[in-house]
């Protein structure tokens, strides 16, 4: 029987592997290691290269890349993937497909960022979050109420469109998000964000941002960090965010971006990646159809990813 595609768009597991000096297959110390991913059915994992503010940004990016390259080479159960066809083939082969994303364009360094982007793309980078929790030379962050894209930020977005790299606006300021989405010729994602109308937090998306992302054909990955979800965060409240995003942007705009291994405060019932089946059960109880749940599990994202890759060579100018 064919396995359903299940994608998590944001896992900070590389940071935990790096800091704790453990493996992706470790039985302890991870929320989204191989044991948890298998138990919860996640078979496509977006592994994040995240350089903290107080680090040598470029060096940490490359350190985390090497960590993931080592794990992919070491483990027969995982494979690096570059497109939706490879994702489906990985799942058919009972492997976990690994995608690579950069969280924060500050991780590209400064002077030679285009060359670094080229290197990362050749190494398998599929997505880039333009900011993290502080504004950088490319764009404003929601955390410090930054502005929109800078001139070099527009250059970065154009480079990503040209290369077929997914633009991720989680952490970006409202102005940056709307600038990118309103002009994007291909789908844009927010890999790990929730709905501002349910929980008023700067990391969550306002209705106009949800609509703008949805209109590109993009998706929004539900984030499991309790402060973004709301008071007494549990599975039901996570499902409320899913319901709300689907109401504003349509069911095809909803995806999963848990933020496991990202030092998050977990909602009750979703303590690690092995518990995800409970979320699907909750959505079924609310009337989500089989196709709608397959969408949030991964089909919505794979559709968007294909359009990013198909549109990378033939598109209007940004």
Dump pLDDT digits (tens) for 223-256. Answer: 999 999 999 999 999 999 999 999 999 999 999 9
Q: Per the CATH hierarchy, to which homologous superfamily does domain 7-310 belong?
A: Metal-dependent hydrolases (3.20.20.140)
* Ranges of each domain in the chain: 7-310
Give 4-44 pLDDT, tens digit per residue.
Answer: 899 999 999 999 999 999 999 999 999 999 999 999 999 99
Distance CA 177, CA 175 (A): 5
Q: What is the pTM of this model?
A: 0.97
Distance CA 54, CA 172 (A): 19
Q: Beta-strand (E) ranges in the chain?
A: 7-11, 44-49, 78-80, 96-103, 125-129, 166-168, 220-222, 254-256
Q: Among residues 205, 179, 201, which one has the least CA distance to residue 190?
A: 205
Give 133-191 pLDDT, tens digit per residue.
Answer: 999 999 999 999 999 999 999 999 999 999 999 999 999 999 999 999 999 999 999 99
């Amino acid at each position: 029987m064919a396995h359903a595609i299940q994608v998590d768009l944001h896992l900070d597991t590389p940071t935990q592997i790096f800091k704790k000096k453990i493996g992706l297959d470790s039985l302890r110390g991870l929320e989204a290691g191989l044991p948890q991913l298998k138990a919860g059915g996640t078979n496509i994992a977006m592994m994040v290269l995240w350089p903290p503010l107080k680090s040598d940004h470029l060096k940490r990016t490359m350190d985390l890349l090497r960590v993931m390259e080592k794990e992919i080479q070491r483990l027969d159960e995982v494979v690096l993937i570059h497109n939706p066809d490879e994702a489906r083939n990985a799942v058919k082969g009972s492997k976990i497909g690994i995608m690579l994303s950069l969280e924060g364009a500050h991780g590209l360094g400064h002077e030679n960022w285009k060359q670094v982007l080229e290197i990362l793309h050749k190494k398998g980078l599929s997505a880039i979050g333009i900011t993290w929790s502080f504004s950088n030379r490319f764009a404003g962050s929601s955390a410090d109420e930054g502005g929109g894209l800078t001139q070099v930020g527009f250059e970065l977005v154009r480079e990503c469109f040209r290369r077929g790299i997914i633009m991720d606006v989680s952490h970006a300021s409202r102005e940056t998000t709307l600038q990118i989405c309103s002009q994007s010729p291909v789908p844009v994602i927010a890999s790990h964000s929730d709905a501002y109308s349910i929980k008023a937090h700067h990391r969550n998306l306002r209705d106009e941002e949800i609509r703008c992302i949805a209109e590109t054909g993009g998706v929004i990955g539900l984030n499991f960090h309790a402060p973004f979800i709301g008071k007494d965060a549990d599975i039901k409240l996570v499902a409320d965010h899913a319901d709300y995003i689907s109401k504003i942007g349509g069911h095809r705009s909803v995806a999963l971006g848990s933020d496991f291994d990202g030092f998050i405060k977990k909602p009750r019932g979703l303590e690690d990646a092995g518990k995800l089946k409970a979320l699907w059960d909750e959505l079924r109880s609310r009337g989500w159809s089989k196709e709608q749940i397959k969408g949030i599990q991964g089909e919505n994202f794979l559709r968007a990813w294909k359009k990013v890759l198909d549109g990378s060579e033939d598109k209007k100018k940004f």
